[in-house]
Amino acid sequence: MGEMRGRDFLSANDFSKEELREILAEALRLKRELKEGKEHCLLKGRTLGMVFQKPSTRTRVSFEVAMWQLGGQALFLSAQDLQIGRGEPLKDTARTLSRYLDGIMIRTFAHSEAEELAAFASVPVINGLTDLLHPCQAMADMLTLLEHFGRLEGLQLAYVGDGNNVVHSLMLAATRLGLQMAVATPPGYEPDQEIVDAARINSARAGTNLLVTNDPELAVMGAQAVYTDVWASMGQEAEHAERCALFQPYQLNSRLLAQAVPGALVLHCLPAHRGEEITEQVLEGPQSVVFDQAENRLHVQKAILAALL
């Protein structure tokens, strides 16, 4: 995967279908060999700085463990501990950290901050989440589907809920990799139009369909996998009560799931608010693969790190 060395991973759309498939294949290999007890020292002596402006469970633990399992080291850098918390320009932080580290992962609010960090850093920058995109999560989702179905091309994936960073990256990765996708959100909560346009270009090139609708049953009809996420993301807590009322028809429950094909997989990036965007019965049911997704953050990020660093 040498041709990806030194590149940033801000969006799945920055990589070709072949490159994304290569990352997924490497993730499958690393996962299989980890289970077999084989150690990998692909990043021996390498360091990853992890800049956190938002709290995290899966992102922090999975990146730290990923670097350790690859023979490297990860450093947790909270915004409060860095000088950016005291007003140092991000471009100065980027250039300073580049003198110490082999890569930087950032989890922040504004996507422009990740872009600025990447513009001024001389080492690869990985998007651990911004308000616009969550590409590592989408790659873990693609890995989960690939494991369960043995293929990605032509799979029908539905997403119901908020048009947020998770569905943005899901749309880009899915359409890049040849999946059919349908997205249903309440009116006024649709995905960002620029992301929709980019995903439509991917779909046109792949010869697949992308449906963006306000009808959750239409989106889920015939789907082989159904995905949802929290109705109010970090920073939107004040809108929580209003959103719960508006989003109720989009709850992933047994009635909505029945519109999908029998045995359709249930996906959620976690954390989940049981009784809101998804019911306890569906989340804990036999069709749920949400903890496979959570585990796959580790394996896919190991592949990304090994490719870039």
In the predicted structure, residue 198 carries a pLDDT above the cut 80 = yes
Chain segment 227-242, per-residue pLDDT in tens: 999 998 766 777 888 8
Q: What are the extents of the domains in the chain?
A: 2-134+297-308, 137-294
Binned at pLDDT 50, 70 and 90, residue 78 comes out as confident
Give the pLDDT of residue 233.
76
- In this structure, whether the domain defined by 137-294 belongs to CATH 3.40.50.2300 is answered with no
Question: What does the DSSP 8-state code read for residue 191?
Answer: P
For residue 79, name the pLDDT band (cuts at 50, 70, 90). Answer: confident
CATH superfamily to which 2-134+297-308 belongs: Aspartate/ornithine carbamoyltransferase (3.40.50.1370)
Residue 205 has pLDDT above 90, yes or no: yes
Nearest by Cα to 309 from 118, 50, 104, 61:
104
Is 192 an active-site residue? no
The catalytically annotated residue of 134, 168, 243, 299 is 134
| Annotation says 292 is catalytic | no
The model's pLDDT over 44-65, given as tens digits with 9 standing for 90+, comes to 999 999 999 888 889 999 999 9
What was the pLDDT predicted at 2?
65
The one catalytic residue among 46, 107, 168, 268:
107
In the annotation, is 136 catalytic? no
Q: Rounded mean pLDDT of 245-274?
A: 97
Query: Is 281 assigned a catalytic role?
Result: no
Residue 41 among the catalytic residues: no
The pLDDT-based confidence of 209 (bands split at 50, 70, 90) is very high
Q: Choosing from 60, 176, 268, 297, which is the catalytic residue?
A: 297
Q: Under 8 Å CB-to-CB from 30, ≥6 apart: which residues?
A: 40, 299, 302, 303, 306
Report percent pLDDT > 90 for the chain: 89
Percentage of the chain surpassing pLDDT 70? Answer: 97
Nearest to 195 by CA among 243, 239, 135, 244: 135
Asked, colleague to colleague, whether 2-134+297-308 and 137-294 share their fold, the answer is yes
Amino acid at 82: L
Residues 53, 64, 118, 271: is their CA dihedral positive or negative?
Answer: negative
Using only C-alpha atoms, the chain has a radius of gyration, in whole angstroms, of 19
Here the tokens at position 27 are 């993730």
269 catalytic residue (yes or no): yes
Q: Report DSSP letters for 255-296, one per residue.
A: HHHTTS-TT-EEEE-S---BTTTB-HHHHTSTTB-HHHHHHH
The whole-number pLDDT of residue 54 equals 85
pTM over 0.75: yes
